[in-house]
Amino acid sequence: MEREPGLADPSGWWRLSIAEEGFLAAKHPRARLAAAVELVHYRQTGWFLKAASDLPAGVAEHLAYATGTQAGDLDGWLWSGRTSRRHRAEILEFLGVRRLTRRDLADASAFTAEDLCPRGLTRAAMTDRLIAWFFERKIECPAEDELTRLTASARRRFEERVLDTTGGLLSEAQKTWLDEPLSDADPVTGFTGLKADPGKASRRHSTACPRTIPRRHVPIRSGWPSRISTTSPRPKPAPAS
C-alpha cells in the first residue's frame, strides 16, 4: 500500500534528537541501524516499515553515518523477526505510544463511518487518515490487514445508515412501487433471474427489462414535452432500388 511519508517535519527523516541517539546507543551495533530506521519511520509515518525499500532514498545511508554503522547491516534483516518485534515494543514505549485497545478500535471505526466515509475518500486515502488518527492520539496503529477490515466494516455501516435514512423519507406507496420489480418471479425479466445470471447484453434484454417496471404517472417539468410517445418508432422507408 503506497502512502506519502511524513506526518511530521520532512527534515525529521535525516535528524536524530539527543534522546534518540541515547536510545539507539544502547542497541547492539549490528542491530542499531535497523532500530534507527524503525524509529525514524514510525516517527515520520505512524506505522512500522515492512522492508528497507519503504524508506525514502538516502535515509538508510544517512542514519548509518549518524549511528556509526554500515548501510549493509540492513541486508537480510528480518523485519518480522523476534529482535525486530522487541525493537518495535521498545520504540513505542520510548515515543510514549500506548498499546491498542478494543475501545480504540471502536472509536476509530466510529470516526471512519461518521467523518471519513461521507467525504467519498478512496480506500488508500481513508487508510492514511486513520493512520494519522492513531498517530495524533499516540495509540499503536493496527496492522495493515486489520486497518483494511476496519475501513470495510465502517463503510458497510455508513452505507446501511444512508439506506435506512433514505428509506425513512419514502412513503409506504413509494416503497411498494420500488419493491414491485424486485418481486417479479419471471425467470427472464424478473429481478431474481437477472441477478442470478445476467448473461450477455442483447436487444432481448433491453426490450424485456422495462416490462418489470410498473407504469406510473411521472410529473413533467416545465419546459419538457407535454406528451411522451410510448409507441414504437416508425420504420425508415427502404431505399429506392
pLDDT higher than 80, residue 211: no
Task: Give the confidence band of 8 by pLDDT, cuts at 50, 70, 90.
Answer: very low
pLDDT higher than 70, residue 69: yes
pLDDT tens-digit map of 149-199: 999 999 999 989 888 888 888 888 887 887 777 776 666 666 666 666 655
Cβ atoms of residues 150 and 130 within 8 Å? yes
Average pLDDT of span 136-158: 91
- In percent, the amount of the chain with pLDDT more than 70 equals 71
Cβ atoms of residues 138 and 95 within 8 Å? yes
Average pLDDT taken over every residue of the chain = 79
The predicted pLDDT at position 237 comes to 56
Distance between CA atoms of residues 66 and 160, nearest Å:
52
Q: Which residues contact 123 (CB under 8 A, 6 or more apart)?
A: 148, 151
pLDDT higher than 60, residue 4: no
pLDDT higher than 60, residue 227: no
Please give the backbone phi and psi of residue 7, each rounded to the nearest 5 degrees, phi first: -75, -25
* Amino acid symbol at 36: A
The predicted pLDDT at position 218 comes to 43
CB neighbours of residue 104 within 10 Å: 17
